[in-house]
Amino acid sequence: MADHATPAEAARGDAALALFIVEPAWLTSPESHPRREAWLLKCRVALRDALAARGLPLPVRTGEAVDGPGRGFSDDLDR
């Protein structure tokens, strides 16, 4: 988290909400590659573990990342 300003700032606070979004369009794009996907998964696991050490979950959702809360996902973040 230290290499990204937003999560690093959130880590200094008392509470945070994290969300990891997997966009299907990215997985089928020319930018996607098995090595890059493996690296992303490794990063997600490290982030999940770091957040868990603080008692915070890392929900994972599949869908299009869009501006605004509650758009693009059919399920609640509480799960």
pTM over 0.75: no
For residue 60, the 8-state DSSP code is E
Q: What is the pLDDT of residue 50?
A: 87
Task: Supply the Cα-derived Rg of the chain in whole angstroms.
Answer: 14
Residue indicated by tokens 């890059």: 36
Q: What is the pLDDT of residue 51?
A: 86
Both tokens of residue 20?
Answer: 């990891």
Residue 68 has pLDDT above 80, yes or no: no
Residue 78 has pLDDT above 50, yes or no: no
pLDDT in tens, 22-64: 888 888 888 889 998 899 889 999 989 988 998 889 999 988 8
- The sign of the CA dihedral 52, 57, 60, 65 is negative
Q: How far apart are CA 59 and CA 53, in angstroms?
A: 15
Query: Are the C-beta atoms of 64 and 75 separated by less than 8 Å?
Result: no
Q: What is the pLDDT of residue 3?
A: 67
